[in-house]
Amino acid sequence: MKKKIKVLIIDDSALIRQLLQEILSKDPAIEVVGTASDPLIARDKIKQLLPDVLTLDIEMPKMDGITFLKNLMRLRPMPVVMISTLTEAGADVTLEALEIGAIDFISKPKVDVSEKLQEYASDIINKIKIASVARVRSYSPDDGVTSVTEKHSADVILAKDSKSVKNARKFSANNETIIAIGSSTGGTEAIKEVLIKMPANAPAIVISQHIPAAFSAPFAKRMNGSTAMTVYEAKDGQQILPGCVYIAPGSYHLLVEKSGSRYVCRLNDGPKVNRHKPSVDVMFRSVCQNVGPNAVAAILTGMGDDGARGMKEMHEIGSSTIAQDEKTSVVWGMPGEAVKHGGVDHILPLDQIADKLLALCE
């Protein structure tokens, strides 16, 4: 019999502890071995119960979640899923937690907590399962049971169009190079590592990272302080320029369109694709159809297969493509699927991807 995933829930709210325990206990692969109302109790229970995954609230008495996480990831690194509020302040702290080493986060609703958490049950369970097999890194100060939504392909947003691809091929020699990057679980830190190495005059970069709507603007702001490039949360109709990065808003698909001699961002509020909005497949297809062989694409760490088909389409029309390797990915789902689909030219560790992107653009 397969070993169950042992989970310890750390939250000062008795209601949240109860709801998470009820949700997780519904899955036969998960066992909630205990709960703790503050980090000091949690510290003892970790030693006693040896959990595989922790859920950790950010705001708690006696010791805040960030301080506890720093100590944990320095002394006893293990998979942690944060419990975060869907606010800008909550987003900033959650992004800090991901920097420290948390694998993912669960959004805590501001109203109707009981009802809303139950609606997210399958997502919560999946995040725990992903965390249990994710690669955990140590921290240094220096450094489904319930039903799921219908899975759409990129066709619901942008149909495959051989004529557009043919035109993109024809005119690509006169167009600017664009780099397209897609990622999910573990992607916020992977993107940061790529952007840190980019010079101020690097080719334009468009990014689709699976992230909630409240988190994308703080994420863009955070990345803007980490790179010589200028980073924006993409706006509809915004011109795409060299030296700039455009991150998809958490509630819209990001497409690249040609407008005369310029490229612009186009935001689309259509259905989720591969159960995500923004979807990497949608962005890659738009880049394929409008930029053609002048585009370079990278797919970074993430669970699932979003981006695999779009990357293959890019590969087939002559765009250069890169997948992050398994060893450096938090979860080798999306990059692994892209490799399986046959759309990847180069499989590289994360610390080599920025240099390779720049080399391919040259």
Catalytic residues: 184, 210, 306
Pairing of strands 104-108, 178-183: unpaired
* Cα angle: 303, vertex 305, 309; to 5 degrees: 155
Question: H or E element: which one contains 126?
Answer: helix 121-133
Instruction: In whole angstroms, give the CA distance from residue 300 to residue 329.
Output: 7
140-166: b or e for each residue (b if 16 or more CB lie within 10 Å)? eeeeebeeeeeebebebbbeeeeebbe
Place of tokens 């399958």: 122
* Cα angle: 216, vertex 104, 308; to 5 degrees: 75
Q: Which amino acid is at 194?
A: V
Nearest to 329 by CA among 206, 215, 195, 191: 191
Pairing of strands 253-259, 262-268: antiparallel
| 168 within 8 A of 295, measured Cβ to Cβ | no
